[in-house]
Structure 1
């Protein structure tokens, strides 16, 4: 198969291939960028594989960075763009089921492609647009099949994360996992226990947002992978419920994805914090999810006050997105209108400051100021007082008087 026209991303990188080939070596575009080109999808990173060894690559280009030179990867900086270029290699045993004990550089493209995970990711593309396919990847692309390269058990023993990548790719590409690959996932699911939660997190987060997330989640359950995922070993029923929710629409960002999952698991905000910390999420994402869950759990019980909407803050957008994704019989648009109509949306918008209190109350700042500001904030949100400096100063004096009695 030959492409009539190379996408611009490949055309921009052609000088790299031409320089390497002019020196007598082989060079090809490889991996996901080739797969996505053939599927008509946008290209992200352009990766290059070559018969040239790292030292030989470095001698051909003025600007390079050793991003993974022990594994044969050098970043070539060309016209402001970085191209990861990796020497053809073979790999030794994977005693930790995640990385090779050692790698050996080779001059054979076929030997290099053998070590890749799935046939659709083991395609190479020449500078002239010729697609090189040693493992039936083109047929699998046409048939929408995800199949491990060679013996699936060997691929999963090399890197157990490939089992999570299988369900993630199937969900993203809307492909079906080939039966032998499916069986190997089931047979070797326990190997996932060797993989760091951070690496699993990356794949699972992408899966939750994929167009065919329902299929991916159900395949994950079928392979018992969740038994080796933090906090999900006994959550089959909840995950099936999540899969059903994602049949019609999927989360659009990480916060929505994890909030929907946590909501379906029925966790409290405190339990959600523990769960998400175990998954090594950022403090910002954890705060957004916890705040969203607080509002969602309140909505599950019935009407919510303007104060509860206000406390959601910026997380209101995540919470309302999850309302739409979930089965809550709530008018999310009406909640959005109510939220927008609030007099203020943060303490920073309150028309009085601690400095104003110090000046008008003739008191030094202290815990009492915080208590008064909290009360004023509450009354403004509930529209019990106008958000005007004069009105708030007058009310603050009243509150101070009550405190002194």
Structure 2
């Protein structure tokens, strides 16, 4: 098979391949960019594989960076673009079920392609558009099937994360998984416990935002991969509920995806923090999810107050998106209107601060000062006190005199 027209991303990189070929080396586009091109999708990262050894690559190009030279990868900088060029290699001895203990550079393309995960990712493309297919990947592309290269059990022993990649690709590409590959996943799924949480997080986050996230999550549950994922052991029923929501629409951001996950698991904001920390999420995502969950959990039972909306702040966008996906009887547009009408949207917008109270009213620093500031903030949000310095100072005097302040 030969492509008559290459995507622009490949055209820009053609001179790299041609330079290698002119010196007698083999060079090909490989990996997901080839797969996506054949599926009519825009390729992203352009990866190149070659029979040239790293030092040979470095001699051919003026600007290179050793991004992973121990594994045969050199980045070539060309006209502002960077292209990772990796030497054909074989790998052996995966004692941590992730990285090879030994890497050997080879000159043979077949040896390099046979170590890849799935047949649709084991395709190579020459500079002239000729597709090299050694494992019937083109047939699997046409049939929308994910099939491991060679013995699937060996592929999952090499890198157990490939099992998560299988369900993630199913969600992204709307592909099924062939029977032998499924059976190997069932046999080897316990190895997921050996994979770093960060890598699991990356795959799960991509899955939950994929075009057919429902399919991917259903496969994950049916293959019982969730039993080896942080905080998802014995959560099948809740995850089934999540798949029902994904039938309607998918989250648009990672924060929405994980907030929806916590919401479907029935977690409080505090419990969600523990759950999301298990997955090694950033503090920013955790705080946003917690703020969204507080207002969502209130909305399960009652109409959120203006103070509830104020406390949600920027997380209100996430809360509304999650509520819509969950098909909650929410007043999303009303929430927006109410939030926009609030006199302030954060404490920094108050016309006074603690320093003002200490200077103008000679209030001492301490817990009572903080309590008065909070009550002033609540009063402004409730539109009970104008957000002016004079009005707030007058109210502060009253609060200071009150025994409950």
- The answer for unaligned runs of 5 or more in structure 2 is none
Give the ranges of 4+ consecutive aligned residues of structure 1 lying more than 6 Å apart after TM superposition: none
Partner of 2:212: 212
Residue aligning to 2:284? 284
SS of equivalent residue, structure 1 residue 52: coil
Structure 1 distance, partners of 2:337, 2:29, is 50
User: Do the aligned partners of 1:29 and 1:125 also contact (CA within 8 Å) in 2?
Assistant: yes
Cα drift, residue 392 of structure 1? 1.5
Say whether 1:86 aligns with 2:91. Answer: no
Q: CA deviation at 1:135?
A: 1.1
Compare 266-275 and 315-324 and name the one that shifted more.
266-275
CA distance in 1, matches of 2:282, 2:129: 42
Match of 2:375 in 1: 375
Take 1:366 and 1:297, find their aligned partners in 2: how far apart are those partners? Answer: 32
Q: What corresponds to 1:390 in structure 2?
A: 390
Once the two structures are superposed, what CA deviation does each residue of 1:309-347 show, in whole Å capped at 9, x if it has no partner? 111111111111100111322122222222122111111
Corresponding position of 2:31: 31
* Contact 1:186/1:222, CA 8 A, preserved across alignment: no
Instruction: Tell me the CA shift for residue 364 of structure 1.
Output: 5.0
**Segment drifting more, 351-360 vs 361-370:** 361-370
Deviation at 1:122, TM superposition (A): 0.8
1:259 and 1:292 in contact (8 A); partners too:
yes
SS in 2 for 1:294: helix
Which residue number corresponds to residue 298 of structure 1?
A: 298
- Give the SS at the match of 1:104: strand
From the superposition, tell whether residues 404 and 2 of structure 1 become closer, same or farther in structure 2 (CA, over 3 Å).
Answer: closer
Gaps of 5+ in 1: none
Partner secondary structure for residue 129 of structure 1: coil
Q: Work out whether residues 357 and 393 of structure 1, in 8 Å CA contact, stay in contact via their aligned partners in 2.
A: yes
Residue pairs, 1:239-278, within 5 angstroms = 239-278=239-278
Deviation at 1:264, TM superposition (A): 0.5
User: Offset of 1:292 from its aligned partner?
Assistant: 1.2
Shift in Å at residue 270 of structure 1? 1.6
Partner Cα separation in structure 1 for residue 39 and residue 331 of structure 2: 38
Write the distance in 2 (CA, Å) between the matches of 1:80 and 1:282: 31
Deviations 1:99-133 (A, max 9, x none): 11101111111111101001111111111111111
Measure, in 2, the Cα distance between the counterparts of 1:92 and 1:117: 14
Residue deviations 1:140-194, cap 9 Å, x none? 1112111111121111111111000000000001111111111111121111111
CA RMSD of aligned residues (A): 1.5
